[in-house]
Structure 1
Amino acid sequence: MSVQSDLNQYYGVKSKALQFPTRRFRALSPLAAAVSLAIFGSSPVLATEAAAPLAIAAAAAAEDANLEVITVTARKRVENVQDVPIAISVLTAQDLDKTGTYSTEQLTRLQPSIQLISSNPRNTAVTIRGLGSVIGLTNDGLESGVGFYVDEVYYARPGSAVVDLLDIERVEVLRGPQGTLFGKNTTAGALNLSTAAPTFTPEGKAEVTLGEDGYTQGKAIISGGLSEKVAGRLAVSSTRRDGTVYNVTTGAKQNDTNSQALRGQLLIEAAPDLKIKLSADYAYQNPNANTQVFVRYGATKRSAASQFPALAAALNYKPASENPYDRLVDVNSPLQARQILKGTSAKVDWDLGDYSFTSISALRAWDWTPQNDRDYTGLAIRTKSNNPSAQDQWSQEFRLSSNGSGELDWVAGLYAFGQNVETHGTEQWGKDGARWLIGAALPGGISIPSNLIDGYTSNTDVYSSTDSYAAYAQATWHVTEDFRVTPGVRYTKEEKTGDFTQVASGGLATTDAALITAKRGIARNQKYYAEFSDSSPTGQLNLAYDLSDDQLVYLNWARGYKSGGINAAGIPTDAAGNPSLVSATVQPEKSTTVELGLKSQWLERRLTTNFAIYDTQVTDYQANVVDAGPGALRGYLANIEKVSVRGFEFDSRAQLTDSWSVYATYAYTDGQYDSFRNGPPPLEELASGTAAFDLSGRDLPGVSKNAGSLGTEYSWGGTVSGVAGEWYSATDLSYRSDWNSDASVSKYLVVEASTLVNLRLGFRTDNGTDVSIYARNAFNEDYLSFLSIQAGNSGAVYGHVGDPRNIGLRVKAEF
């Protein structure tokens, strides 16, 4: 039986979109086969959770040219990534393993179109092509524009993105709107992670890594058949590292790593045409982390007495260091960044002959318990900033797709999602708060008691809920053997509610109206309830043409949709001090993307080069604005008129010789606020009484215009203690140009460009044993990963310092 027949028998289809590319495969030479084998390793890439396609693909590779094809399921069917006419990058398990990538933050160094901006798990923004998340303001009532999926289950909370990558078989980075086929509509793209599935053949892996600063990481994976029809898989990991900053107040290291994860899966082959996969996972993190170092002072237009130098002198204070790379802090309140992420899911795949039916059911929960010293100093300004949050979600997806041969392939589905988020926050101010945040006197000469807000506390209770329902369909019409047209459409209906209550109490008891007003300027009582509902169609149209067996050109038009919602972090007040309810809801964000791409393979497939150029226009962009009307001035979320992002992307891999492989990626991203008249004033423009500031025409924050990565690996045969194998050396370099870390695009909030280099030298054998030494950030580059403005706008800028050089040893074994 031929490889093609094997595939058709397994999938029960003869559709062109699912057919194994035998014609193209047989054109490959042994040298071209070495491209994928050297770059991606010799382990097969999972096409689905089942083992049969792997065996067939491996047999095909051996039969035709020993070449391994990277397959993806980005369009809910198994395809060669080079045949998928969208902008998609793939990192296989071998890629992650070879580069030592175990977190999403590290993933961004391999995929330049992704940017992760995080001051803590709750305040995490993931962007693709500069779009996706609001920077600098957490809001439980809104969602990210970048979809994060694990085994086709949507993870709604941003903290999900900072959990360790455990037993991942493949990471697909889909750029641009992806609402047609993925569970939640997204304006920016999706991270689609697939975990390794249970195997009936017994296998196991164990790995230990030891490095500087107490770095210890252990991983263990075991998989095998439990009965004739049931296979199981269990994966565990633990990562620990000492803190990278030293607290001169407590004498302890902080910003450490403390992370554990566990995942168990069962694969049940209930019948030849019916497969069920059950999965449960648990991740726990509890580091003493998320404080920030003093980076710089930026002068504002406020009076000198209300700026950092004068305030610090008045309180006889100096930062632990004015050089952020001394890695010294002096915070005097406890730190905690505990989060628990857990969930279960059930996936059913049923082959009905002409059709395939899929059901995906999932329950997930997220628990966030922080403690922080929000003023980032050894003073008692804002002594507590604790906003513990709990979330639970459920989702259900039903999908039906065609299996028949012919000119039309299609997939259609129904999706439902529900979420509840509950946050109970506490903000507390100390004895230095009044002088730092209000001043020594009010206009008119009224003296401010130094203990005015000592013990002043704001307790906030926020409840929000989301119900989302959608129907979607996508079809591919094979107009000719080489020309395909793929339209897609989705209709989404959502309902959200939000309940916000804030109660302020404590501090100095006073009946003075001016002092009461001053206290309310720090925090005030507020209560409101809001509802939001919306329904919207979105869609795409894709044209793809095969210029040859190895060249594909495509044109894609996509309309994206990011959910609206509830402003669940406080809103402006009117002249009477009541909540301005017109600001309680935020409208959906809509994007239109046009993209032209070319996917090519050359030199008998030794060289792969993929290009994409795109233009994205976003209307009703969700951003942090300020209130220009009467009453208290404060930041909140609202819609602005328009932003645009355009760019160019390049992704290439090459096998220069049988033992020498190279990869290169590059992304140019140009984003800007086209119209943003009521933006927050940049720090350098901040003056007493300043309200809105026109940011129109300024660059979009969170975007590096130029980013890229370059890597190479060279191997040669050898023996160690009589054991045959191969030595290898590898270098990975990543670069990001300057980017701005604040919605106001202040010149003081520019994160400077950085170049990181990782080195590896090791010895591996055919039986899976691998021993290597590594150097991450080998040249000890000083860089920042995030900047923020100190509360109170004193002009002080604080930030997170990137990880220093870490040298270590990794030992890995397979059995």
Structure 2
Amino acid sequence: MHSLVRFALFSSAAFVAAPALAADLSADDQQISAAGTGATEPEAEILVTARRRQETSQEVPLAISVVGGDHIDNTGSFNVGRLTQLTPSLTFYSSNPRNSAANIRGLGAPFGLTNDGIEQGVGIYVDDVYYSRAASSTFDFLDVAQIEVLRGPQGTLYGKNTTAGAINIATRQPTFDFEGRAEVTVGNLGFKQAKAAVSGPLSDTLAARIALSSTSRRGTIFNVTSGNWINEQDNLGLRAQLLFRPNDTLDITLAGDYSAQNPECCGTVYVRTGSTQRPLSRQYAALAAAQGYAVVSTNPFDRLTDIDADLNAGNKIGGASLRIKWDVGAGEFTSVTAWRFWDWKPENDRDFTGLPIVTRSQNPSQQNQYTQELRYLQSGDWLDFVLGAFIYHQRIDTQGTEQHGPASSRWNINPTNALANDPSVLNGLTALNTQYLINTSAALFGQASWKVTDAFTIQPGVRLNYDKKKGFYDRKVFDGRGVPVLLGQTGAVKAAQLAIFSPQSYAPEGRDWNFSYDLTLSYELARDVLAYATYAKTFKSFGINQNGVPNDATGVPALAAQTILPESLNHYEAGIKAQFWDRKATFNLSIFRTDIQDYQAQVTNGSLGLVRGYLANAQQVRSQGVEADFSLRPSERFNVYVNAAYNDAKYRKFVDAPCPPELSGGGSGAVIGAPGAPGTNSPANCNISGQRLPGVSEWTFSYGAEYNVPVKLLGQDGQAYLGFDGNYRSSFSSNPSPSAYTWVNGYALSNIRLGFRTDAGFDIYGWVRNAFDVNYFEALNVPGGNTGLITGQPGDPRTFGATIKATF
């Protein structure tokens, strides 16, 4: 909702990407470039810190994608959600900042509603600080120099255990030479973005850096009810750092950051209906007709909605950290102390229609987290090793309100019941939820690299982890007059109200130890050709259900569901990394398989006002596939890259899964009706063994090229350039249990830019994103109630604009 452009920082690092995205770099950035990714000299290489020490990306026996700042900027990838267009194995889903999840190779966090009681399988780190909330993924990247996406388990090298991978973000650090960066972008849909950063010395031993970023854009969906464009962008970020360097062996960096969002978000559009096993009189068409309701448009790409509840995605996140790096002669000691907070103030339309069914739905929450990580790194001629310790403490408090309106009775009560015609029965019915989570974990971890010969290296790693979680959930229910609704109350009115909201209170807790380990063997087959193989045994800690659990037949909470088992993973991977043609070409290939026991899955409940989603264990899950990255730079005038991934991620065994909508909503009985047959019986649960995990495309690609020619413009020597970047993903399921109604078709997006840049750091270019105006969905949703309604989130239409950047 902010309309002013506020200056902000962002990185201008390399124009780089996945282990070998071809790119153009400024002279200042050549030190972190990679062969075949933009350096003018063939021997230049990307330096990474994936193994907590500086080395080239081609030396690391690990599947890793590296994306530099300029490439992020030029493709409009200004947050983790947009980063997925550059790294095929990374996927990101977000119906709002809280309900966000980053997955790698289809693994990480359950698809659907976020539950605070489980760990994120993909760790997000910014300058060595762990960000526990996926909400941070929706904010603008702030003064980023480079991003490393590490695929596969990383717990023996990173503070918080990461079973699926890690996103390691490095920001630009304070410098003892004065420098500055500024960037302004304008585009259609009222897009305005400004970034700025300045760095320099305050004394001989003290340097500072400050960066700002601002993004605003009109929404892409028009709400005819409010008259507003919704799902807008509205980000503001600030980051400041102080570096104290008393001598060449000691760096002490104090950093603080603050980011805020305040968009009118996040709404959906009508997509279609699909028949369920509910009686026809209780499915969407009949329910809407009974109240004289017609959706504003049945074409989702008209981008029209009529949702009538207030929308908000107010979001504040920030914190402070103190990082100490001390060269003690034989090795390097690192200490990272950090505090982070997250405040979330949402409002949603939970019935997804223009009818006042659910008139209020909000779950504001507040989080504080504290982390302390200690590491010691030593490198030698034949042995390198890292030893570390990590302590993490988190508290989340949530206060929820959900209230029904005058249209709820007609929508939710069986029309054969006279109460369906009495709006007062459910009008004003309110559930107040109070919950908290206290999460503490500690770990010892380490990894060594034993150079058996000049070519052969053995790399073992271990991790010992302790987790303790304590939660509380309490839901109180009141009718429209403010009178408590209690279990055991009798009468038709109370029965109708309890069918929507039932009181519930429980306090889950648990503690557990687990031991993880991995072993990697690598062999240099020839100069610039490295082969490696990895086995890892790791765990994701146990979880607790923080959003409520189902009730049993007597209306009592099913306390057996309040905790879920830890995941147990066996991971296998092999790969080869090669450079050839005088390092002008790079080709990396990896094959992988991850087997998971007791996979922590999201379970959905079809009833409108009951527990909408909770966690349960699927017996077995498997993710396996192949990834390939290729880049070529035959000259300083041209570069091209292609990255591809094939991922076969399935439930190997999930015999008691929630049923898809076409097998839901019916009665109970021995004879089960056909899928989508109205008025028939539904199974209590479904066997979805062998079906694909939600959100996973079998095939994903990213690709691009750039060509430049030397020109002189306005008296300045420079380069005119034409660049193209694209990505493709095949179809994927958008429901925890695959449904015929919620498959998202595959799509390809294309971005084009044309510009002029100088060696002095000036760059101006025009850009078009989604150049061919492809209509696609980011996700489809199944609203509660088993009415057959399917809503969706359309992806961005074609956007275009211009950017001016300068470095000095």
Task: Return the TM-score normalized by structure 2.
Answer: 0.92
Within the alignment, does 1:604 sit opposite 2:582 as a pair?
A: yes
Amino acid at match of 1:86: L
Which whole-Å CA distance do the structure 1 matches of 2:570 and 2:30 have between them? Answer: 33
The count of residues paired between Structure 1 and Structure 2 equals: 764
Where does 1:295-694 land on structure 2 (aligned, <5 Å)? 295-403=271-379, 405-442=380-417, 449-507=422-480, 513-625=491-603, 635-689=613-667, 690=682, 691-694=684-687
Amino acid at match of 1:650: A
Cα distance change of structure 1 residues 277 and 520 upon mapping to structure 2, 3 Å threshold:
same
Within the alignment, does 1:728 sit opposite 2:706 as a pair?
A: no
C-alpha contact 1:45 1:71 (8 A) present in aligned 2: no
Amino acid at match of 1:540: D
Within the alignment, does 1:84 sit opposite 2:60 as a pair?
A: yes
Partner of 1:266: 242
Amino acid at match of 1:751: V
Where does 1:42-441 land on structure 2 (aligned, <5 Å)? 42-44=27-29, 65=41, 67-403=43-379, 405-441=380-416
C-alpha contact 1:441 1:448 (8 A) present in aligned 2: no
Q: Secondary structure at the match of 2:423?
A: coil
Cα distance change of structure 1 residues 67 and 231 upon mapping to structure 2, 3 Å threshold:
farther
C-alpha contact 1:245 1:328 (8 A) present in aligned 2: yes
Shift of 1:449: 2.9
Q: Secondary structure at the match of 2:28?
A: coil
Cα distance change of structure 1 residues 799 and 45 upon mapping to structure 2, 3 Å threshold:
farther
C-alpha contact 1:635 1:680 (8 A) present in aligned 2: no
The C-alpha deviation readout for 1:468-491, integer Å capped at 9, x for no partner, is 000011111111000000000000
Shift of 1:450: 3.4
C-alpha contact 1:562 1:588 (8 A) present in aligned 2: yes
Amino acid at match of 1:800: Q
User: Any unmatched runs of 5+ in structure 1?
Assistant: 1-34, 48-53
Which whole-Å CA distance do the structure 2 matches of 1:40 and 1:725 have between them? Answer: 13
Q: Secondary structure at the match of 1:441?
A: coil
Partner of 1:21: none
Shift of 1:302: 1.3
C-alpha contact 2:471 2:546 (8 A) present in aligned 1: yes
Which whole-Å CA distance do the structure 2 matches of 1:302 and 1:179 have between them? Answer: 46
The C-alpha deviation readout for 1:5-63, integer Å capped at 9, x for no partner, is xxxxxxxxxxxxxxxxxxxxxxxxxxxxxx9995445332677xxxxxx9xx99xx99x
Amino acid at match of 1:715: N
The C-alpha deviation readout for 1:664-683, integer Å capped at 9, x for no partner, is 10010111111111111111
Which whole-Å CA distance do the structure 2 matches of 1:492 and 1:448 have between them? Answer: 57
Which whole-Å CA distance do the structure 1 matches of 2:26 and 2:205 have between them? Answer: 29
Q: Secondary structure at the match of 2:135?
A: helix
Shift of 1:425: 0.6
Q: Secondary structure at the match of 2:476?
A: strand
Cα distance change of structure 1 residues 324 and 474 upon mapping to structure 2, 3 Å threshold:
same
Where does 1:697-712 land on structure 2 (aligned, <5 Å)? 697-712=690-705
Cα distance change of structure 1 residues 122 and 634 upon mapping to structure 2, 3 Å threshold:
closer
C-alpha contact 1:627 1:692 (8 A) present in aligned 2: no
Which whole-Å CA distance do the structure 2 matches of 1:521 and 1:112 have between them? Answer: 44
Q: Secondary structure at the match of 1:110?
A: coil
Shift of 1:530: 1.5
Shift of 1:274: 1.0
C-alpha contact 1:626 1:678 (8 A) present in aligned 2: no
C-alpha contact 1:462 1:568 (8 A) present in aligned 2: yes
Residues 78-87 or 584-593, more deviating = 584-593
Residues 268-277 or 105-114, more deviating = 268-277
Shift of 1:439: 2.5
Shift of 1:514: 3.4
Match of 2:707 among 700, 710, 714: 714
C-alpha contact 1:448 1:515 (8 A) present in aligned 2: no
Which whole-Å CA distance do the structure 1 matches of 2:25 and 2:155 have between them? Answer: 30
Shift of 1:342: 0.4
C-alpha contact 1:179 1:561 (8 A) present in aligned 2: no
Which whole-Å CA distance do the structure 2 matches of 1:712 and 1:627 have between them? Answer: 46
Cα distance change of structure 1 residues 446 and 522 upon mapping to structure 2, 3 Å threshold:
closer
Residues 681-690 or 466-475, more deviating = 681-690
Which whole-Å CA distance do the structure 2 matches of 1:38 and 1:577 have between them? Answer: 61
Amino acid at match of 1:42: A
Partner of 1:695: 688
Residues 301-310 or 568-577, more deviating = 568-577
C-alpha contact 1:142 1:565 (8 A) present in aligned 2: yes
C-alpha contact 1:641 1:675 (8 A) present in aligned 2: yes
Which whole-Å CA distance do the structure 1 matches of 2:43 and 2:178 have between them? Answer: 25
Task: Return the TM-score normalized by structure 1.
Answer: 0.91
Q: Secondary structure at the match of 1:350?
A: strand
Shift of 1:747: 1.4
Partner of 1:773: 766
Q: Secondary structure at the match of 1:96?
A: helix
Shift of 1:686: 1.3
Q: Secondary structure at the match of 1:515?
A: helix
Which whole-Å CA distance do the structure 1 matches of 2:405 and 2:605 have between them? Answer: 28
Shift of 1:453: 0.8
Amino acid at match of 1:418: H
Amino acid at match of 1:413: G
Amino acid at match of 2:639: S
Q: Secondary structure at the match of 1:520?
A: helix
Q: Secondary structure at the match of 1:339?
A: strand
Which whole-Å CA distance do the structure 1 matches of 2:764 and 2:696 have between them? Answer: 37
Amino acid at match of 1:433: S
Partner of 1:25: none
Amino acid at match of 1:398: L
Residues 248-257 or 287-296, more deviating = 248-257
Partner of 1:22: none
Shift of 1:731: 0.7
Amino acid at match of 1:422: D
Cα distance change of structure 1 residues 308 and 576 upon mapping to structure 2, 3 Å threshold:
closer
Q: Secondary structure at the match of 2:85?
A: helix
The C-alpha deviation readout for 1:516-549, integer Å capped at 9, x for no partner, is 2221121111111121101000011000000111
Which whole-Å CA distance do the structure 2 matches of 1:200 and 1:135 have between them? Answer: 45
Which whole-Å CA distance do the structure 2 matches of 1:455 and 1:555 have between them? Answer: 60
Partner of 1:13: none
Shift of 1:581: 1.7
Partner of 2:6: none
Partner of 2:792: 799
Which whole-Å CA distance do the structure 1 matches of 2:665 and 2:269 have between them? Answer: 25
Percent of counterpart pairs with the same letter?
A: 43
Residues 568-577 or 789-798, more deviating = 568-577
Amino acid at match of 1:609: F
Cα distance change of structure 1 residues 37 and 501 upon mapping to structure 2, 3 Å threshold:
closer
Which whole-Å CA distance do the structure 1 matches of 2:255 and 2:766 have between them? Answer: 34
Within the alignment, does 1:763 sit opposite 2:736 as a pair?
A: no
Amino acid at match of 1:548: A
Amino acid at match of 2:256: A
Residues 571-580 or 739-748, more deviating = 571-580
Partner of 1:30: none
Shift of 1:814: 1.2
Cα distance change of structure 1 residues 636 and 212 upon mapping to structure 2, 3 Å threshold:
same
Which whole-Å CA distance do the structure 2 matches of 1:204 and 1:618 have between them? Answer: 48
The C-alpha deviation readout for 1:110-159, integer Å capped at 9, x for no partner, is 10101111100000111100000111122121121111111111111110
Cα distance change of structure 1 residues 46 and 793 upon mapping to structure 2, 3 Å threshold:
farther
User: Any unmatched runs of 5+ in structure 2?
Assistant: 1-19, 668-681
C-alpha contact 2:600 2:616 (8 A) present in aligned 1: yes
